Amino acid sequence: MKHSQQAPQVNAGSMADIAFLLLIFFLVTAMIPNDQGINRKLPRLCPPGQKCNVDIHERNMLKIVLNGNQEIMVNEDIVSIEEVKELSKKFLDNNGDKSCDYCKGSSLPEASDNPTKAVISLQVDKKTHYSLFIKVQDELTKAYYELRASYAQKSFNKTPNELTVEELKIVREAYPFLVSEADTK
């Protein structure tokens, strides 16, 4: 008499349930990092046949350099992050050529002619931390926002949130956001 042996079988039906529960557990408990970035509209490409290299007078360019030591230099002076906004506002709202009837600046010879000609040049070293770059960009955005809000209040007696599309366009033309990340000579 032959005795046949059967191999023991494992019930694998609940393995799929366990794998599913583990997947759910790790999805719920995992930390999902928030993406950081800058909400900016990129400039359009230069149309063929047009000259897109623009010479900017030295006076109309505020040079901000972020070096590898995580230092912020504004026109070759080391400053703190807290100073960037006020220095930017002072530079932008200077009224150096006295053609700006809404500027409140002191017409300093080392600052811009007016906000429509002012360009902020932001240069970054390869070793600069991304968080410092974001902080500087935030301070520049705050500077422009405060100048635009002041202009909106003075011109239209409204806050920026209350402006119509046409009024917002006028405010943006008065204080255009001109930040260059290109290398300057």
Residue-by-residue pLDDT tens, the chain, 185 positions: 566 677 777 776 678 888 888 999 888 888 777 766 667 666 666 667 766 677 777 888 899 999 999 999 998 899 999 999 999 999 998 888 888 888 887 888 788 888 888 889 999 998 999 899 999 999 999 999 999 999 999 999 999 899 899 999 999 999 998 888 866 55
Q: In what order do the strands lie in the sheet with 61-66?
A: 77-79, 72-74, 61-66, 119-124, 179-180
The radius of gyration computed from the CA coordinates of the chain, to the nearest angstrom, equals: 28
| pLDDT tens sequence across 29-45 | 887 777 666 676 666 66
- Residue 87 has what pLDDT? 92
Tokens of 104: 């409140």
Phi, psi of 183 (to 5 degrees): -70, 135
